[in-house]
Structure 1
Amino acid sequence: MMQTKPIATRESYGRTLAQLGAENNKVVVLDADLAESTKTCMFQEKFPERHFDCGIAEANMVSIAAGLAAAGMIPFVSSFAMFATGRAYEQIRNSVGYPHLNVKICASHAGISVGEDGATHQCVEDIALMRGIPGMVVVNPADDTEASQAVRALAEYKGPAYLRLGRLAVPVINDPESYHFKLGRAVTLREGKDATVIATGLMVARALEAAEQLAQEGIQVRVVNMHTIKPLDVEAVVSAAKETGCIVTAEEHSVIGGLYSAVCEAMVGAGVSCPVSPVAVMDAFGQSGPANDLLEYYGLTAEAIAQKVRERLAH
């Protein structure tokens, strides 16, 4: 793991947007009165004429973005995940997804690591909502390096996309000099023959910690970073099932409709049989509290991942 200061992926997003603004005058940014929190303020400072604060009117914001995309611009729409995917779902579905417009929905403050803002502002259903929209790409980067490259990849991709970003600073695990992000292509971070942990977002770093713990016990775990939930890298899932015979998924999202669901669906579709155990939020709302305490409370830890692997291997 890279030894560097932890960085929140929302910071990566804001910084990279500002860079893209200088490189491509078709990039425009829309925000719902949260520019300081989503970090689109970095773009706003440099390109105020291409930054639109739509106020607390997320549905209207998405509709404006659809119009901008139809006119040839590349709009990045920003708000908290709960409001971007929840309050504006109809507009994303009908005004962006249905006509397959080139709009990027970039939602910060996803998951329960929002912390003290509590259940109303935490969102563990967003991946499920977005992956259900036909043609929608869904990306959940693990760290600063990956988030920055994902923003660039989505700017080049023609079509609707959802980018999930976090408030909590997370470890940088990918080397910016050697890492290359590719939509729909999982990254194997560690090889192993006994089991596979397929993780996404901030759980990737925890999966690596779990693999290190298990290595001390003589258990060799493959760690796969599934940064793109849709389109899912089915080949990586099938290979893990066939070669290690045991999979644990790890996500800061509901167990329903996210990574666990996508992995199980892929295996059934491929006709592959393998036990799969989830580390996820188990059909529950979040609550108010410090981010790391909440991750501990909901079992989204390296130890929880390691224990799931132990339990699976014991059967």
Structure 2
Amino acid sequence: MSDKLARYRSKRDANRTPEPVPDVPASTPGGDAFVIQEHHARSLHWDLRLERDGVLVSWAVPKGLPADPATNHLAVHTEDHPMEYLTFHGEIPSGEYGGGTMTVWDTGTYETEKWSEREVKIVLHGRRASGRFVLFRTRGDNWMIHRMGPAVRDPLPSVAPMLPVERARPPKDAAAYAFEFAWGGRRLLVPVEGGRTEAAGEHPWLRELAESFGSRTAVLDGELATLGGAELLVLSDLLYDDGRSLVEEPYTVRRAALEALDLTGPHWQTAPSWPGDPGPVRQAAREQGLPGMLAKRLDSPYEPGPSEAWLFIPS
């Protein structure tokens, strides 16, 4: 009988990594457990591992499990892992194979509908991962994973930024608005999916922001501003969060969801917002040399393009 863990052990030194390095596979084959680990290695990915014949057959999935059957995700077949990996989490030292932080993203059981060298059909029963999937081999170790069945989330919104209309004075019904600084920068919508964002192509420092979301999908609205000589993304709205579109929700709901994310980092921050009293905000904008302030109706949905629900009041 071949040693199913030989390749696994050849890549690891038990004296240098906290990973389990057993001598032989488990002696009780035939189980139906699975684990998905979020792996912040050289590049963020998720490791899908299925118990089979005493080991965990494994694939690295860079963008995580697909939520929509219309989109397949790459799944790279890797070496079999020991059963002890079902619960493994921790820090693999830098310089070691797979160095980085690993956490258990989900675990549960699965059913096998088909298993061959080129195709694996399964039904996952986990807390976060559930449903029918098929893994199919394309070339070499490269496979694809496809969700079978309906999408499990709202589609990502494809919208233009909501834009304020200029007014000389604050609204008379100030209690119906929240007030924010106008930073004088460039608006930027940042979609985040699978720990990545296409906005990082122009602004590489956004990769760190995207990775911090893990598997959580979001669309952020912000303004690229230069503060203290450094470029900063000031985040002011949230259009999509964890599978749910928020564009039809009122500003208050979107704002609460944004604040719950607690987004503060080296190149990004959540914009402050003050409901009901424009005077101090406008005065502070003048003192800081900002172009003005924004008034946003508390009950307004997100409306692409110019909207009377958002007002720009110059300093």
Higher Cα Rg, which structure: 2
Interval of TM-score (by shorter of Structure 1 and Structure 2): under 0.3
Higher relative contact order (CA 8 A, sep 6+): 1
Q: What TM-score comes out, normalization by structure 2 length? A: 0.26
